Structure 1
């Protein structure tokens, strides 16, 4: 099954906790409801922190997949 195209992709590789979550939250704030944001991280805690951010803020985690040396997340911004 093909993944939907992201509205925006941000590279958060190399950043350590809590920066990936803080920058993801900031980017989501600026997107329209229903927009898709893909993020790429290398922080091992992101696999816990990003899903928690989505649950906490009401966003939908569309997919989560390992990348070479990190992880990729596709997030749909919550409908307001």
Structure 2
């Protein structure tokens, strides 16, 4: 299953988490989403959000401009 690509570069906290939460709400359980961010706080916020909402953070990757997160909807 290919992940849905979600480009949230340029958004500052708390918008990457808010938008990811809203996007995941419209997706089927088990679906994958890849989120690209430039917000330096996302590296703290995304794992916390996944833990709180019951999603699986599969991978976190540092990119040239920020971070990329691969998340499986719980």
- Runs of 4+ with >2 A deviation: none
Which structure has the larger Rg? 1
Structure 1 segments unaligned to the other structure (5+ residues): none
CA offsets 1:50-77 (integer angstroms, 9 cap, x no match): 0000000000001000111110000000
**1:5 pairs with 2:2:** yes
Calculate the aligned-residue CA RMSD, in Å.
0.9
Q: State which of 24, 28, 31 in structure 1 corresponds to 2:27.
A: 31
Structure 2 segments unaligned to the other structure (5+ residues): none
Q: Alignment length, in residue pairs?
A: 74
CA offsets 1:6-59 (integer angstroms, 9 cap, x no match): 1x1110000000000000000000000000000000000000000000000000
- What is the TM-score when the length of structure 2 is the normalising length? 0.97
Structure 1 segment 46-57 matched on structure 2, within 5 A = 46-57=42-53
